Amino acid sequence: MSESNESTDQEKRKPMSAGLYMNYPIDIKAAIQHALDNGYHFLVTQIILPSYARDPLKKGKMEAIGRSDRVLTCNEWGRLIVAEITKTIDVDCDDEQLYLQNKSRLLQELGFAFHLGVPAIQIYLNQANNTNLARIVYNKLLCMYSVSIWLTVPMAYPSRKNELCDPTEKEDTWNWWNDFRSYCKYEKRLGLVLELPDIHNIPSTSEIDRWLGEPVKALIIHSSLFILNIHGKPVLPKAYQEIIKRFMILDVQYILKTNDTEDIAIYNKYLNYLGRKLYISNENENIYKGMEDFLQNPLQPLSEHLDTNIYEVFEKDQIKYTTYQKAIQKALQDVPKNIETPVVMVVGPGRGPLIQAALDVSSALDRPIKLYGIEKNPYAINTLIQRVQNEWDNKVTLIHEDMRVYNPPDKANIIISELLGSFGDNELSPECLDGAQRFLEKDGVSIPASYTSYIAPIQSTKVYNEIISNRLPDKTILSCFETPYVVHLVNFYRIDEPKALFTFNHPNWNPHYSNERFKRLTFSAVQNCLLTGLIGYFDTVLYQDIILSTHPKSHTENMASWFPIVFPLPEPMQIKGGDKIIVAFWRCESNDKVWYEWCIESPRISSIVNPNGRSYFITKIC
């Protein structure tokens, strides 16, 4: 059973991509063949002749710096080789002469790597201060469009402590990386390679969490980290398995480093076995697959008619509708018995799943209801008309109107809607239900009865770079950063737990009631990190104890609907461990639109994002 499960998962998973690290092989063609034969997909190696790298200043004589580019085809250089920059090159030393020398070596090595057309260049960071290195690499990245840089740091600082420097700041290798990429303005083609530490230096969970918010391209695993199991086979201790399991979500690659380059197949086989063993299947995986970190614009259901694709995606989520059905059943049971035929109105029924749910409840309870469906979308109405005739035995009265203006003959005992967006109120559920409650009995109920949004500060340069890359030609960069995005966010670090933001209750009979909101929330950062925006969730009380939630702590099990929403910051903010992050958030309203504004008050002030809803708003006009 467990075996057959594994094999199914295996079929779904592509095999782990693995690279082999090799010190400058004499015959690179043979070395590649050896790696491929043993299940590896690429080679990480130096491109500069070791003798040249040791003594680059031999002048006068014209000398080869590396092997001829003709030993491999362009296709091989471009697919199979990651070029490692000589580790001894230090352009951030204090000696000016050495700096100039190292700079010219670095430029030469980068230039040769570009010439060869390798897909990635690996550069080790060995120390905290890398300003000059960052400048040179940033300069080159901006002119050379096809290559990526893989910055490589130890996942945890090697245990030999340097007594001269501050242990907390300078020994946290995340800071090395963060400083470097900050100099380079979070450049997208700057990837990260993490070297697994020895067993005494395994980082804490929160450190791993933070690394998972970074563009990690590969993990370096040294064969010395393996231990022998009872069969004498090399395996990785549990602590490493835990780390690898967590990084699988990012589809990272593995780079094996070993002194024994002969017997390399065994490690790769083990890693592939591990990939299958650690892989956890998720019911909704197929729905989500390929949507990781993909930015979607939130729906505008009032001004734009939803299309059939969207309805179909909605309806696939059975968990959501069975939960609704439970709520409807409870609510209908609570309608006083003296009301012979309770009036139930589904506002915005779309293609009818909630109508179906209400009919099912009525039939299950054997209690007849008068059922209305009020829908503004003419194409959804078209579907509903046919379902009323063919499936629902003409038991449903259809109204083709906007619920905010419709004038009904009856008042409803129950109004049912599913107008909630990823942030709860962000598809104007409050405004729509405020309009619809005109035709609700004073003691009638709304399903949902309330909903609450939540926000948390996040680090995700992935989102930052996606926003820049996906800019439409008619938008400014600023306007793209002043817009929230719905996203199945994977490559991010949540800096603190989400906190409740705005709550809306229905019905609401207070005549002075406003749907504008303001709230200030305070979060804490446990460690240095980069604040790039806010992530939003919501939960909703459908009826009494029946709730739906996308809040990570209470997420409705197996519910596929609603990815989180992200509110970006135009300028990422460096955060220190221990900092308080204070967020101010507004929901604003004018005659024709609703929008959010947000800003950071602490540890430093950001300017107010999206003033006047200039870049993003939800229109109230149909």
Interacting span for its own copies (CB under 8 A) from 44-52, 127-135, 237-245, 429-437: 127-135
Pairing of strands 81-84, 618-619: unpaired
Counting Cβ atoms within 10 Å, is residue 295 exposed (0-12), middle (13-18) or buried (19+)?
Answer: buried
Three-class DSSP category at 53: helix
Q: Which of 64, 199, 605, 622 binds its own copies (CB under 8 A)?
A: 605
Q: How far is the CB of 432 from its own copies (least distance, A)?
A: 22
Q: Is the omega angle on the peptide bond into residue 50 within 30 degrees of 0, that is, cis?
A: no
CA distance 245 to 336: 54
Per CB under 8 A, 132 contacts its own copies: yes
Residue 311 assigned ligand-binding role: yes
Per CB under 8 A, 383 contacts its own copies: no
- Pick out residues in 87-116 that bind its own copies (CB under 8 A): 99-100
Q: Which is nearer to its own copies, 145 or 390 (CB)?
A: 145
Per CB under 8 A, 500 contacts its own copies: no
Q: Would you put residue 621 in left (φ > 0), alpha (ψ -120 to 50) or beta?
A: beta
Q: Which is nearer to its own copies, 454 or 586 (CB)?
A: 586
Answer whether 505's CB lies under 8 Å from 449's CB.
yes
Per CB under 8 A, 580 contacts its own copies: no
Active site residue 571: no
Interacting span for its own copies (CB under 8 A) from 199-207, 306-314, 340-348, 611-619: 611-619
Number of shown-chain residues binding its own copies (CB under 8 A): 34
Q: Which of 315, 402, 434, 601 binds its own copies (CB under 8 A)?
A: 601
Cα dihedral sign for 26, 29, 35, 38? negative
CA distance 292 to 136: 32
Answer whether 595's CB lies under 8 Å from 431's CB.
no
Q: Which long-range contacts (CB under 8 A, 24 or more apart) does 196-199 make?
A: 196/155, 196/220, 196/221, 196/222, 196/225, 196/240, 196/243, 197/154, 197/155, 197/156, 197/158, 198/159, 198/225, 199/225, 199/237, 199/239
Q: Which is nearer to its own copies, 413 or 453 (CB)?
A: 453
Per CB under 8 A, 139 contacts its own copies: yes
Q: Name the catalytic one among 84, 187, 427, 597.
A: 427
3-state secondary structure 449-500: CEEEEEEEEEECHHHHHHHHHCCCCCCCHHHHHCCCEECECCCCEECCCCEE
Q: How far is the CB of 182 from its own copies (least distance, A)?
A: 4
Nearest Cα to Cα of residue 593 among 541, 479, 516, 524? 516
Per CB under 8 A, 135 contacts its own copies: yes
Q: How far is the CB of 324 from its own copies (least distance, A)?
A: 32
Q: Which of 514, 545, 557, 592 binds its own copies (CB under 8 A)?
A: 514
Q: Name the catalytic one among 195, 418, 431, 597.
A: 418
Q: Which is nearer to its own copies, 33 or 139 (CB)?
A: 139
Per CB under 8 A, 182 contacts its own copies: yes
- For the packed helices 205-212 and 173-183, what is the interaxial angle rounded to 10 degrees? 20
Active site residue 418: yes
Q: Can you give the binding site for its own copies, defined by CB under 8 A? A: 99-100, 131-132, 134-135, 138-139, 142-143, 179, 182-185, 514, 516, 518, 520, 571, 574, 584, 586, 597, 599, 601, 604-608, 611-612, 614
Tell me which residues are annotated as active site: 418, 427
